Chains A and B, each alone.
Chain A
Amino acid sequence: MSSTTYSRLEVAAGCLLASLVLHGCGSSNNNSQNIPTGTKATLALLETTDLHTNVVSYDYFKLAEDKSLGFERTATLINQARQEFPNTLLLDNGDTIQGTALSDYQAIVNPVSCSQPLAMYKVMNAAGFEGGGIGNHEFNYGLPFLSQVTGNRFNVDGLADPAAQPTCKGPSFPQVLANVNSVKTSAPLFQPYTIINKTVTATGPDGKPVTGTVKVGIIGFTPPTIMSWDKRWLDGKVYTVGVKEAAEKYIPEMRAKGADLVVVISHGGLDDSVYSPTMENGSYHLSRVAGVDAMLIGHSHQIFPNATSTVAQFNLPGVDKVAGTVNGVPTVMANYWGKHLGVIKFDLTYDGKTWTIDKTKTVVQARSTQNADKSYVAVDPTVAAAIATEHQATIDYVKTPIGSTDFEMSSYFADVGDPGAIELVNQAQADYVAKYVAANLPQYATLPVLSVSAPFKSGFAGGTDYTDVQQGNLAINNAADLYLYPNTIYAVKVTGADIRNWLETAAKRFNQIDPSKATQQELVSSFPGYNFDMFTSPDIRYEIDVTKPEGSRIVNLKYKGVAIDPAKEFIVATNNYRASGGGSFPGLDGSKTIYASPDANRDVLIQYIKTAKTVSRAANGSDRSWRFTPVTTAGQVVFHSAPGKLALAQAAGLAGITQLQADDGSGKSLALYAIDLSK
């Protein structure tokens, strides 16, 4: 439904109803302005979404440029659109203030002061944003932080009375969110909507330029599922209401207050299943609420319109992925990390009372920062310049020594028993989980806490595909080498029998070795190294008998010197991937998880190093829980690793390893090593 259907009478009727049930009508419902009937204007809505604090085109983990992302390039698309269209209205969809080392730096490491805006908002203020929504990730750092950095004073449990709170520097544009309320007050946490008086240059019926005002109402929505995702921050403090109910309540109010256009800023994708107030992606149902002129959507990290999209949500009935409409409502989704800019161009005519949309002339586009020749548009240099200090501080933080190690921590010989790159991870995981259980899960306080991890980098891609952290200072970026994957810590409750099955699966890492065979045999199978879970603790000991078939290789499995009781319960610290069924380990399916931590294994490792300060071979790299069951083989047993690393095997105390060929002939910079399994 376009604004054309809203006559003055209907506005008045809406106002009458509103006066009974809603806030009542403001005084601004009279749109009459001193411009002639028949005046025409072009107004382009510009959307950014899911920027995730990618301000500059930079990867803070690689400490290197990444031209495929960053607002400094989106800004160039914005500048171009402003050249192209006489009037533009720049709006952000949300998921704006979280997602890079820069955001963590400003939220956790060195929290931004009340007098400073976040770097992300600083460049958005400079770019002239005129409104924004709130995504789910805005809640990731908790409500006090969100209240501060958005310049709000939330009235929620856990924060001082608003009168006692300072108003801090935030975005210089209004932010709207209609479906999250404070438990304390039952009122919306943010203003649910606002009406922007947009001054436009237009053309009178006589062809002469005139200046008018278009009242653009913006209303924001976030996924109700924030209540699960950020439960630790939100439970008991805020609650969500359904997006449809909120829209049906507020949009008539916006019309009554004179909105010529109603723009929905919905941080959610399209889902046409039966409506529920708790559904994550409510934008499809929002499109059917009366009075919506346009939707700026996000959250799904996708591009819409996109004629070639195979994504399920853009191939639903009522969704025109070529024209960019959802049930007839012009809709745009501008991908993520600043890769795209969304554009909805409206041609408007002033009818003496309100602006009406010429629907035949509406254009919807998602414009990429990548050119047809795969190059990227140039940066807007003012963006990086505005946050040079924050950017450099983040880089310095990533490079800052957090501790030191007295040995080279590597995974070159993890397959044959060196725990040097794994034990520290296990120690950090076990420490973290043990503390959590002691503080929060008294029912499990008597259970032993163990930990497993695997050599994530084990040479698959060649001789450089190994963890290798040099002796000396450890910095944040070294932690990414020690813990490769983006995982969060999960703790599972398992039995001794489960542990045996777990290790049997991990032991598929090895081929079955025939001791009588006189020819060379390869030790390592195609079973991935990232699934070769191992303990590295003096409390647990086992042997892997590679002469046995899969499923019967774990022998002498002992806990504290005693054969493990199959019925005894343990807590094992691991990651979300394994606990949820990754790698198809028997018994691991998500249901044994007793703690799904929001904290990343890598961050827990960083914290552990910061606390320990010094990492040593003796304390953090020499506890071998497992060894091969000794066997004398008639022929050589061989494996592959980077060349010239024998000294590292010896430093790890591994006996019986020799380098046979510095080049194994694979062309992957790997050497051929032999292991004497009788040693």
Chain B
Amino acid sequence: MRSIFPSKRNTPRLAAALLAGAAALGGIAWASRTPTPTAAELAQLQILAGPGRQDAALARLTNLAEGGTADARRTLGLALLSRGDHDGTGLQWLRRAAQEGDTDAAFQLGKLYSAGTAGVPADAVRAFAWFSAAGKAGHAGAAYYLGIAWRDGYGVKTDHAEAARWLRRAADAGIAAAQFLLANAYREGDGVPRDDIEAVRLYSAAAEQDHPEACQTLAMAYLNGELGLQRDEEEGRHYLMEAAHALKHPALRP
């Protein structure tokens, strides 16, 4: 078995975990391990342990979670959840990480409660609480979900101005789905003053990230002369083709 997991140094505290990982992963120079895995290293381990189904990576992640920090526990939880989490331990790890203040763990719990799964019945109020915790700590993905919660009343009474405020935070962080919904708000004057120029700017930013619906909106706007744009058949056709293309690899919701 060969794997790609770069690390630089080693410390005694994590020696056992690292030894297990290094022995199992093989092919990695022992003398190049980091004391604490970086976010990128954890993300890579999550892939190997989750979609990669590598038990050695899962064992290493488990060791890191037991001895390490909240981000390792969150990573282990997500890896287990991506493998089905049949005994609920993935959820437990995620919950522990969130309770320890890991912002992304709180966000991920929000998503679990929002959609609902076999082990977690959908609960909009709980989802909103976790999103709020993460959003207030600056998590852009949580800001997006708070935006739609306020827009459409998930776990909270609708407030379109509040929705636009959260969508703005997520949009400014580059989340295409938020840019699209905020553009809609500017187009309609929904929670913000009507502003076609800002709407076009936001649709364009989302389209640049392969957001199919933003591409289609611009296509229709150019074909029909909407949003203050001059009718432009060529631009319209271009955006229609971009919409078709983007559908094969849409900008993903956070």
* Stretch of A207-215, A227-235, A643-651 at the chain-chain interface: A227-235
Q: Chain B's interface: helix, strand, loop or mixed, by majority?
A: helix
Is A301 an interface residue, CB under 8 A from the partner?
A: yes
Contact between chains at B180 and A580 (CB < 8 Å): yes
Contacts A183-B51, A239-B52, A591-B152; A576 near B44 (Cβ below 8 A): no
**A584: chain B residues within 8 A (beta carbon):** 184-185, 187-188, 190
Per the CB 8 Å criterion, the residue count for chain A at the interface is 61
Known: A21-B28, A278-B47, A486-B241. 7 other contacts (CB 8 A): A229-B250, A239-B47, A246-B4, A274-B39, A528-B220, A581-B180, A582-B184
Q: A129-150 vs B: 1/0 string, CB under 8 Å?
A: 0000000110010000000000
Contact between chains at B5 and A245 (CB < 8 Å): yes
Nearest first, the 4 A-B pairs at minimum CB distance are: A486-B244, A239-B52, A239-B51, A245-B4
Give Cα A22 to B6, complex, Å: 13
* Complex interface residues of chain B between 74 and 132 (CB less than 8 A to chain A): 114
Is B23 an interface residue, CB under 8 A from the partner?
A: no
Give Cα A486 to B241, complex, Å: 8
Nearest CB on B from A23, distance (A):
9
Q: What is the chain B residue whose CB lies nearest that of A274?
A: B39
Q: B217-252 vs A: 1/0 string, CB under 8 Å?
A: 100100110100000000000001111110111101
Give Cα A240 to B185, complex, Å: 37
Q: A230-256 vs B: 1/0 string, CB under 8 Å?
A: 000001100111101110110000000
Q: What is the chain A residue whose CB lies nearest that of B181?
A: A581
Nearest CB on B from A170, distance (A):
22
Total of A-B residue pairs, C-beta within 8 Å: 141
Contact between chains at A140 and B248 (CB < 8 Å): yes
Residues on B lying within 8 angstroms of A by beta carbon are 1-6, 27-29, 39-40, 43-44, 47-48, 50-54, 114, 148, 151-152, 154, 174, 177, 180-181, 184-185, 187-188, 190, 205, 208, 212-213, 216-217, 220, 223-224, 226, 240-245, 247-250, 252-253
The contact of A582 among B52, B213, B247, by CB within 8 Å, is: B213
Give Cα A273 to B44, complex, Å: 17
Q: What is the chain A residue whose CB lies nearest that of B205?
A: A312
Is A187 an interface residue, CB under 8 A from the partner?
A: yes
Give Cα A242 to B43, complex, Å: 9
Most chain B C-beta atoms within 10 Å of own C-beta, residue among A52, A140, A577: A577
Is A225 an interface residue, CB under 8 A from the partner?
A: yes
Is A461 an interface residue, CB under 8 A from the partner?
A: yes
Contact between chains at A228 and B190 (CB < 8 Å): no
The contact of B2 among A187, A240, A248, by CB within 8 Å, is: A187
Q: What is the chain B residue whose CB lies nearest that of A235?
A: B51
**B226: chain A residues within 8 A (beta carbon):** 528
**B185: chain A residues within 8 A (beta carbon):** 584
Give Cα A360 to B33, complex, Å: 39
Nearest CB on A from B179, distance (A):
11
Is A4 an interface residue, CB under 8 A from the partner?
A: no
Contact between chains at B249 and A225 (CB < 8 Å): yes
**A528: chain B residues within 8 A (beta carbon):** 220, 224, 226
Q: What is the chain A residue whose CB lies nearest that of B53?
A: A183
Contact between chains at B47 and A277 (CB < 8 Å): yes
Give Cα A236 to B205, complex, Å: 33
Contacts A274-B39, A528-B220; A245 near B44 (Cβ below 8 A): yes
Q: A591-624 vs B: 1/0 string, CB under 8 Å?
A: 1000000001000000000000000000000000
Nearest CB on B from A103, distance (A):
12
Give Cα A488 to B212, complex, Å: 10
Give Cα A456 to B163, complex, Å: 30
The contact of A486 among B44, B152, B247, by CB within 8 Å, is: B247
**B248: chain A residues within 8 A (beta carbon):** 98, 136-137, 140, 229
Contact between chains at A275 and B40 (CB < 8 Å): yes
Pull 11 A–B residue pairs with CB atoms less than 8 Å apart, ordered by A.
A136-B249, A186-B1, A186-B52, A228-B252, A239-B52, A273-B174, A485-B240, A486-B244, A577-B216, A580-B180, A591-B148
Contact between chains at A581 and B184 (CB < 8 Å): yes
**B250: chain A residues within 8 A (beta carbon):** 229, 576
Is A99 an interface residue, CB under 8 A from the partner?
A: yes
Give Cα A183 to B248, complex, Å: 23
